[in-house]
A and B are shown apart, each in its own frame.
Chain A
Amino acid sequence: MARPNSGRRLARAVLLAALALALIVPIAVRAASTVTAQEVEEGLTCQCGCGLTVANCNHPNCEFSVPAREQIEAMLHRGMSGPQVIAFFRRKYGEKILSAPTTTGFNLLAWVMPFAALLGGGIFVAVAIGRWRAHPEIPAPAPESNAARSAGDDEMRRRLERDLREDF
């Protein structure tokens, strides 16, 4: 039997999934507030010019990352939370020390845009496919009985043979 609504249902599912993704990611970003020393170091950019995070700075005797790591350890040891440590470094060096944009104000745009673009693209593709479906009334293959299943395998093999002739 024809399933004229199956495509629409799928399009809806795709849109919902994309929407959920767009919502989940910022939440996941915020959820990363309970952090360890390693995560605090990952959250700060080394200021020696290596372009890496404090955790990954490749200069063994770096004048910035080595004391910064010790300071982070000490601050966490004194009972400061990860966000407090990060806020301390931000006050001292400015926003450029954060290894990723914050999730507030203009910076939120950095996080939202990729997913918004993907969502827009997803809607565009789903709508385009919906429009391109030239013959939605073409009956989809009927549910197969057990007896028909081996015939289905033959059909699969024929399809593959056809594909192999065309090398796609």
Chain B
Amino acid sequence: MPLIGQLALALALILAAYSIVANVVGARRSIPTLLASARHAVWAYCAMVTAAVAALSVSLLRSDFSLEYVASYTSYSLPTFYKITALWGGQQGSLLLWTWLLSLFTAIAAFQNRRRNPEIAPYALATLAAVAIFFLGMLNFVTRPFDMLAAVARDGQDLNPLLQNYWMAIHPPSLYTGYVSASVPFAFATGALITGRLDDSWIRSTRRWAIFSWFFLTLGNLFGARWAYEVLGWGGYWAWDPVENAAFMPWLVMTAYLHSVMIQERKDMLKVWNLALIGMAFGLTLFGTFITRSGVISSVHSFTQSGLGPYFLTFLIVVVAAYAALLIWRLPKLRSPAEFESYLSREAAFLFNNLILVGIAFAVFWGTLFPVLSEAVRGVKITVGPPFFDKVNAPLALGLIFLMGFGPLIAWRRSSLDSLARTFASPAIFGLVTGACAFVAGLRQWYVLAALSLGAFVLGTIVVEFRRGVSARRHLVHDSAPAALVNLVAKNNRRYGGYIIHVGVVMAFVGIVASSFFRTEIKKSVHEGELFQVGPYSLQYLGIETTETPHVETSRARIEVRRDGKPIAMMLPAKLFFKRNQQPATAVAIRSTPAADLYVVLAGMDDQTGLVTFQIFLTPLVFWLWAGGLVMAFGTVIAMWPNVRERAAIAASLRAAAETPAVDEPLRRRA
């Protein structure tokens, strides 16, 4: 198996290099057979990387401890499920997963574009293959997943206990999928810059890829937060760790991109900005990987740190410099007839939305790198932690939420103040009443009141927009109200999927604000049978049970939870001890309701006194963060769903592009 895997990776590298040459030569000399051969090479290198993944997976499942990777990240007693997830539990495996996803997406893009985008696609595929060559080069020469040990190990060192959690099974693949799929729109943007096909055909062709990437970045961040919530045992879910920040920044920039491309599609403006945004998004995905691998900034995500930092940094600099050079080269051709009629227009609101999103991304970037800057300038190590990010981003988040309600309801081109007043009267009143109710209920924190008011305002605008849409649809085709609603969403899925995403964002925002401001924590040491009170709940500690498997020893406390005297739940927080790597871990117990989460950690046990210590968090509304994430995912699926009108628009855009000579037609002919 190791030999097959290593051979497959070597062949993949050769095939990827061939596909670059064949794509570029085939495109410049217009040789269809060579372009077809290049596509076949893409599919072949995808098959080779798939074979390498299969080889490593089989080695992991068979506990082949002749392989260094298998011996480092698994053990005989590791459950089969985690033997599979160990594929991305270590450095080489996670790079292999990245490369595999990249090869899969490249193969899909090659298939999708076998008959369309004849000019841009070869350069886009060559760009994707160039990125793949970097990763394949690392896997072949620098950090090899199939390296053998001098002598077969008797047992492996086991997977880090923190990674033995089902959220870790889905968090890294989701995040990687988001990261890697961002390279497809980036590659098409690069292709557009190289060929001079600078209309919006590259945007329309990769729109679904961009949403797909955003979808998985959203899920990746959400799953990561959930993993932190369930595994780290501190009652929180986001600590502004550098690696968390590195995953958050591409999400912010991709969100800005998804909004600003609408202006280009609608008004043929902001071409440079959109190209810059997609370049930034891709650059930030590489930056995220650099942060994770390099250890340049201390992080809790130290599972995959290595000496790969310089390679990633060099690659990042080369990619950013090359892309910036292409963009600057094409600047004269990217000027478009810019027409803005008013500050009170949807396009202006989208621009300010972009400003805030990129502003937050910059603040996070700046805060993440500031310790490095401080050490370089002053020679003093400092920490930039949650208080900085919370204080800087909190006001920006309010601005963003406001624009989320304001932007979609105003007209393109311009709106009058009177029509604005009419449109926003009901949502504004709803927002103010919500804030007033919260004040009467006893809330005094200005930020919470503002967040609740703005959240209600945004929900109000969305309700108004749905109501108007249904009314307009009924006017157009005389549907019944429910049929009009369904057809409205089905036929305008991009728009209404977007509104559903906004509902999810508001839910998540309210959950984040409430859980940040009102989380309470108590620590209690009790004897068996003792009762104690946490908020509205009575908790009774009923004792500890210890179980043992060949892999892990578990001490599980039983706590009966009562409310108003009635038992409502049995909570089982536990302490785990992983035998192979001699490491303890915590398994928290969570009772989640829409009102609040009761979160219990078994903090310690004193065998002599019989006292058991629990750390308990009561976190209001945190449920809505996860629910909001699911609503965002649902809205994204709706927005991504193919519809006939969009296909027609893409076809028309591609036809128009084919009829228009590219900026570099002479360059191509010269070649």
Contact = CB atoms under 8 A, between A and B. Distances in A.
Interface in A123-137: 125-126, 128-129, 131-135
A52 B234 contact: yes
Contacts of B380: 94-96
Nearest to B493: A167
A96 B382 contact: yes
A29 interface: yes
Contacts of B385: 45, 53, 99-100
A15 to B, nearest CB: 12
B661 interface: no
Interface string B364-392: 00110010001001101111111110011
A168 B262 contact: yes
B234 A110 contact: no
Contact of B495 (A7, A53, A167): A167
A82 interface: no
B384 A163 contact: no
Contacts of B384: 100-101, 110
B355 interface: yes
Contacts of B603: 60-61
Nearest to A58: B234
Contacts of B643: 167
A152 B472 contact: no
Nearest to B495: A167
B362 A114 contact: yes
Interface stretch (B183-191, B415-423, B451-459): B415-423
Contact of B392 (A53, A114, A163): A114
A28 B358 CA distance: 23
Nearest to A61: B604
Given A144-B418, A163-B495, A168-B412, A51 B299 contact: yes
Q: Contact size class for B?
A: 35 or more
A95 B275 CA distance: 40
Contacts of B417: 6
B492 A164 contact: yes
B492 to A, nearest CB: 5
A164 B386 CA distance: 42
A132 B351 CA distance: 13
A19 interface: no
Contact of A141 (B374, B419, B469, B493): B419
A11 B643 CA distance: 39
B468 A167 contact: no
Contact of B469 (A125, A131, A149, A160): A160
Contacts of A152: 418-419, 422
Contacts of B356: 118
A53 B385 CA distance: 8
A45 B239 CA distance: 11
Interface in B473-493: 473, 475-476, 488, 491-493
B494 A167 contact: yes
A131 B338 CA distance: 9
Contacts of A6: 343, 417
Contacts, number: 193
Contact of A56 (B234, B262, B343, B416): B234
Contacts of B388: 99-101, 110-111
B391 A129 contact: no
Interface residues of A, number: 70
B396 interface: yes
Contacts of B491: 164, 167
A63 interface: no
B382 A98 contact: yes
A52 B411 CA distance: 45
A97 B355 CA distance: 33
B387 A166 contact: no
A101 B613 contact: no
B615 interface: yes
A67 interface: no
A57 B234 contact: yes
A125 B488 contact: no
A127 to B, nearest CB: 11
A70 to B, nearest CB: 12
A90 to B, nearest CB: 11
Contacts of B358: 121
Contacts of B419: 141, 152, 155-156
Interface in B243-288: 262, 265-266, 269
B608 to A, nearest CB: 16
Interface string B316-335: 00000000000000000000
A60 B395 CA distance: 33
A107 B233 CA distance: 32
A86 to B, nearest CB: 12
A134 B234 contact: no
Contact of A168 (B362, B366, B495, B613): B495
Nearest to B378: A106
A159 to B, nearest CB: 5
B414 interface: yes
Given A96-B382, A168-B494, 16 more contacts: A24-B395, A60-B233, A60-B613, A100-B385, A110-B374, A114-B366, A114-B367, A117-B359, A122-B352, A122-B355, A128-B351, A132-B340, A140-B414, A141-B416, A141-B419, A164-B495
17 contacts: A28-B391, A29-B391, A56-B386, A58-B232, A94-B380, A95-B381, A96-B382, A97-B383, A106-B374, A107-B374, A122-B352, A129-B348, A132-B338, A152-B419, A157-B471, A164-B492, A167-B494
Closest 7 CB pairs of A and B: A60-B603, A114-B363, A99-B385, A132-B340, A58-B234, A100-B388, A141-B416
